[in-house]
Amino acid sequence: MPNGIIIIDKPQDWTSMDVCAKLRGVFHEKRVGHAGTLDPMATGVLPVFVGRATRAVSLAPDNEKEYIATLKLGVVTNTQDIWGEIREKKPVPADAGDRLKSLLPQFTGEIGQIPPMYSAVKVNGKKLYELARKGVEVERKLRTVTIHALEVSPAGSPDILSLRVRCSKGTYIRTLCHDMGQALGCGGCMAALRRTVACGFSLGGAHALEEVLNHPDPAALLLPVDSLFADRLRLTLTARQAERLCHGGSFSTPAQPGEYRAYGPDGVFLALCRVSDGTLSTIKSFFEV
């Protein structure tokens, strides 16, 4: 049975779940899930987990992502992106790009964002987008997110700029575009979004959906599940330790405290483990039962 991770370059107008549904048919495997949801209009890195690898979805690092976004100045919409209802139009100053560059420090580091009404955030048990579709707008709490790096460059005309954003989980790029437009005084919205890094995987290792669908052996494109934990040290167990681990047991070890990729003496990846107080125990197992 197929088992591993495939990095998909998600096409526009597909939901993340649409991609998973398509890949269930490709791999003939019901257990298919994804990490790091992308909105339908966004493209780019979508890590998809197949077979036993779905056990790793909850462990996927989700604290840092990178995007390339297109900022359309002079337009404000109800969704904070170009696909929404236009609420306001204003002229764009010819030096907008230079002025925005001077404002970048106030949008870098820890910043506050108010989640957009068209989002899945819940207020009193209701998703905001459900309320927004009914014409209801409610007060939202300010959230703190981190913008690790932010670059702006021209994209052909004074009212179109390209942003490269490296940010924390929970950052709304749409809101960042909106807030930048407000700071410039002419308004703005997001016109395109492409994710280039997620869960430690980059666009360079991603496959177009068409490539996967037409590949003679799609399973050959799967990455081993332990590639998700490449930043952890490798720990090779003895046959006796491996057997104990596979039966849910823990055992003493001289290894330093921390998390490890545990392998059997045959080199087979068994589990992500933790060493604490001289004892190794399992965080999540991945071996064949």
Q: Could you identify the residue written with the tokens 């949008």? A: 107
224 close to 103: Cβ distance less than 8 angstroms = no
Tell me the two tokens of residue 71: 């900022």
Give the tokens for residue 285. 């197992």
Q: Is 39 a catalytic residue?
A: yes
Contact between residue 63 and residue 183 where contact means Cβ atoms under 8 Å apart: no
Beta pairing partners, 43 = 194
The Cα–Cα gap between 79 and 131 comes to 13
3-state helix, strand, coil split of the chain in percent (to 5) is: 25, 40, 35
The strand pair at 188-198 and 160-167 is best described as: unpaired
CB 284, CB 271: distance < 8 Å: yes
Taking residue 10's Cβ as centre, other Cβ atoms within 10 Å add up to 26
Q: Exactly one of 9, 13, 18, 39 is catalytic; which is it?
A: 39
Structure tokens at 28: 């003939």
Q: For residue 44, list its beta bridge partners.
A: 10, 195
Helix (H) or strand (E) holding 6: strand 4-10
Name all contacts of 94-99 with Cβ < 8 Å and 24+ positions apart: 94/158, 95/158, 96/158, 96/159, 96/161, 96/184, 96/186, 97/152, 97/153, 97/154, 97/158, 97/161, 99/184
Catalytic residues: 39
